[in-house]
Chains A and B, each alone.
Chain A
Amino acid sequence: MKNIIKVERAKQNMTQQDLAEKIGVSRQTINSIESQKYIPSTVLSLKIAKVFNIKVEELFELEEDDFL
């Protein structure tokens, strides 16, 4: 599952640590989400979307592999 968290962070001049503190997770978790090593829960996804003020569907995108 792809995501554009890094892009949105850059737009808002936000570090991984800043985002992590806003949503109550560790910086490592943010890094893992951005590098697609970890898929966040629904609640966390919604929190991230709310921070960036965009929809979850715009933030995350399913890939073909996700349907296998």
Chain B
Amino acid sequence: MKQSQAISNTAAFFPNYFKKIGLGLVILAIALVISAKFIAFEIVEEQKDFYKIIFFNVLILGLFFVAWARDKFEDEMTMQIRMKAIGFTFMTSVFYIIFRPLVDLILKEPVAQMSAHELMMFMLFMYIIFYKLQKRSA
């Protein structure tokens, strides 16, 4: 396969406009939480977990769109930067999983098992941050 074909075959990435959609979803998720706290509508205790899942899913979907949307111009350098960002994300996630319970212990908070949502949010945030930083310094 020619390299130009390999790069153009980035079917795994969303179109560029998905960045705006993702950002919109993130803002929506945050707005939902804020409105639930301050606008008076009663959330039944049993439904709290359900709304929490909805919030996390919308937030994660938004971050995923932002992270996985193509740049306006993708070439071999952006692909290399993406790979590096994925590597850094994986490493920091491993450290996060290992050391986060220690932070809970130090802060004398109950040590709870990390949820998949929390880990996924952390990974997506880290990937976006690493990618943006590396692109700026390139």
Using a CB–CB distance below 8 Å, which chain A residues touch chain B? Answer: 24-26, 28-29, 32, 37-38, 40-41, 43-44
Contacts and interface: CB of A to CB of B under 8 A. Distances in A.
A15 to B, nearest CB: 16
Interface string B46-85: 0000000000000000000000000001011110100000
Grouping DSSP codes into helix (H, G, I), strand (E, B) and loop, the B interface class, with mixed when no group exceeds half, is helix
A26 B4 contact: no
B39 interface: no
Contact of A24 (B4, B80, B137, B138): B4
6 contacts: A25-B77, A28-B77, A29-B75, A38-B80, A40-B76, A41-B3
Contacts of B4: 24
A25 B75 contact: yes
A37 B3 contact: no
Grouping DSSP codes into helix (H, G, I), strand (E, B) and loop, the A interface class, with mixed when no group exceeds half, is loop
Interface string B1-38: 01110000000000000000000000000000000000
A38 B83 CA distance: 14
A37 B75 contact: no
Nearest to A30: B77
A32 B138 contact: yes
Nearest to B137: A37
